[in-house]
Amino acid sequence: MDFKISKNISRMAAIQVMYEKNILNIDADSALNSFADYMDNDKDYHRDKSIYSKMHSRFFKKLISHFSENVDFNTIYNNCLSNSKMIEDSEILNSIIRVAILEMLYERTAVPVIINEYVEISKNFTSDKEVKLINAVLDKIFKYLKEQCKTQSNHNINQVIQ
């Protein structure tokens, strides 16, 4: 299996866990346990037919581990968006953007790659208009986080913590 594809599948799984965390208003561990229960009961997963059977589990676990970080998403939204209501009102948009932000902050993946990956993933879950919105929002968030790096005398966007 292609490494890029397995990381992409890991991102989709992380979005699913974030979505469940947000929609049910539960902690990350509970959402992860729910996802694990789903995987345990997925007959296709055990026959190696499920898309999630092909994910990069170490990368998935790293993404999920960042869910407990103290990132102030509202501050990021308020500094990057003139109107964050559309994002906040859509749990799928919110989940995609939050996981992308966490990857920007804590992983060593190049940010343009991160933006591209989440834009591509969003095509599976959202309308064309929302895909364009995600692209624009992630670009603005990247610029904001990059500026925060400069003001905090930190030259690595992956280490900026809000």
pLDDT of residue 158: 53
**CA–CA dist 23, 28 (Å, integer):** 12
Contact 100, 12 (CB under 8 A): no
Q: Are residues 121 and 43 in the same domain?
A: no
Which tokens in the block code for residue 103?
Answer: 């990857």
pLDDT of residue 42: 64
Q: Are residues 119 and 147 in the same domain?
A: yes
Per-residue model confidence as pLDDT tens for the chain (162 residues)? 576 778 999 999 999 999 999 999 999 889 988 888 877 776 655 555 566 677 888 898 899 999 888 888 888 988 888 877 777 788 999 999 999 999 999 998 999 999 999 999 999 999 999 999 999 999 999 999 988 877 776 545 555 443
**CA–CA dist 54, 106 (Å, integer):** 23
DSSP 26: -
Q: Give the residue numbers spanning the domain of 113.
A: 70-162
- As for how many domains the chain has, the answer is 2
Contact 9, 56 (CB under 8 A): yes
Q: Are residues 28 and 10 in the same domain?
A: yes
The pTM is what?
0.85
Contact 103, 155 (CB under 8 A): no
Q: Are residues 85 and 161 in the same domain?
A: yes
CA Rg value for the chain: 16
Q: Give the DSSP H or E segment for 90.
A: none
Q: Are residues 27 and 84 in the same domain?
A: no
Which tokens in the block code for residue 92?
Answer: 């799928």
